[in-house]
Structure 1
Amino acid sequence: MDALRGFGELGLGSRLKRVSEFVMKETQIVYDHFNIDFDPYLFPIFKIISNKDGVTNSEIQNSLQFSQPAITQALNKLNNKGLIIYKTDKEDKRKKIIYLSNKGQITLETLKPLWINIDKVIKEYTLESSSSLIEHLNALENKLNKKSFSKTIIDNIKMEVVQEIKIINYKNEYAKDFYKLNVEWLKTFFVVEPYDEEVLSKPETYIVNKGGHIFFAKLNNEIVGTVALMPIGNEGLFELTKMAVSPNHRGFKIGQKLMQYCIDFAKNEMKLPKLILYSNTKLENAIYIYRKYGFIEIPIQENSPYKRSDIKMELVF
């Protein structure tokens, strides 16, 4: 039994405090998931500073009507994180003007899309007709207990990111991205074998100039993922290979989007009869996804090009 609910209107203050603390905790989970070093309790003051071209301590207090100790504490935290800077007022040397630092500006741009989604989800959770505030709180807490607030926000953001991803073809200017993304992935799970180093260092020689294709996932102006269709031998066989996603963008289903694009391209544009791939069974999630897209296990030859490979799979169109 929820004792606070049983207190009715007498428990209003405590109910609001509980909801506030819950939302703050869930919002922190969102920030942590996307590796953003930010405290949700700092949001109001950080937002006030970001909205103005210089603001004083007193102006913050007048805008938010927070206690002065609370504002001072928050400003100290923002300053310790390097998100704000203080400048002396040109006319009154005793007055300090507060601005976002360069790091603060970068953090702001990172936070903006998250704030948009948090705002949307809060509206979704609070869109309810009720005859009293207590009744509204009951409905809100029921939703918060039934559907994870943080997971809903994270899923919404991931969906938006996937929709914004553009798949583009290889250009020489992306050769460094191709190398970096793959080496990063290999060092995370295995080691960079000599064959990897050779192919990754010369993608045009081993892939593009032989009739293969390299694709990239581009988000805004950043390359966040890659995959290749590499010819094998002289029999028109192609390997789906060299798929890697930036560590900061894993979990957004970018790899699946690249895979689907590759499969469609191989089938519809290249008119290939099948694709093969090599992998390792310790990558359980990857193997699951390959099977999901129709790949089936076939015998692996003794002279496999990759020492780490212990499974070979095939997709027949």
Structure 2
Amino acid sequence: MDFLQQLGPVALGSRLRRLSEYFTSEAATIYTDYNLEFQPRWYPVFYLVAHRPGISSNEIASQIGHTHASVSQIVKELVRHSLLTMRTDAHDQRRRLMTLTPLGQEMLPRLRAQTDDVRRSMQALLAEADVDLWQALDRLEAQLQQQSLRTWVAQARQQREASPVTLRDFRTGDQPVFRQLNEEWISRYFKLEPADLKALDHPEEYILEPGGGILLAELHGQVVGTCALIKMDDGRSYELAKMAVSPAAQGQQIGFLLGQAAIQRVRDFGGTRVYLESNAILKPALALYRKLGFQDLAEPNPSPYARADVQMELLLR
């Protein structure tokens, strides 16, 4: 997993930019394969003029969602390469209308053949990847038209600043409350087992030193929730364990906040999978895990816990 994958959705812009740069680089070589002296960035402007001769640069910018300055620069390049010509609108001297030159018209059939090949190859690629990326982008852009990303971030900030819950890492001296919170819920439904005691009595040795982590949730300065990440033998998986929230603090989404933070921490560690064990009678916990994206394992693994009759995983992409 590379660094952008570790960052997750927060790096969406960088991830899309990287993908865009890859496609642009590939497109340049593909044009060469078809003996086309053509730049990838010209394509939407050139093709739109081919389909709508006499279109203005303002109309082009509106149709393809680029700035007028960007379209003007591309038009200048196409004119310089004798693929596009401009004429003044007889009814409005300020408007410049675009049409293809004879050289542009001569190139158009070859460009269309290349476009058809690329279209079929992209359809096959997306089908092989089993993702309707185009539809997903349509939905994403529609959401952003309704509400800007800046507004989404402002709302998230307001929620964070308004929440009385804060998350932090385990510190020296936290072992007693870490044990207390977990012993409280385990004893309510089951009984403490040797694997519990190993983690609860020696969290630094058993969880932190091998490369795991422990998160704690504070409410008005008091620790009211916790969860641990235990590094597994394959080095890329982490077990989400020892998640507990004080009964007095339940109903404030603390478990969900801990779960989200734990998943992001696994990404930060470079992990690719989060695993957990639970029990079928813990209905609220199982609902929380599924809300976080966990799915039941088809084949159970051996467990050190007698109570573990549910095993789940979340694969990070």
Greater RCO structure (CA 8 Å; 6+ sep) = 2
TM-score (norm 1): 0.47
Greater C-alpha radius of gyration = 2
Question: When the two structures are superposed, what TM-score results if normalisation uses the length of structure 2?
Answer: 0.47
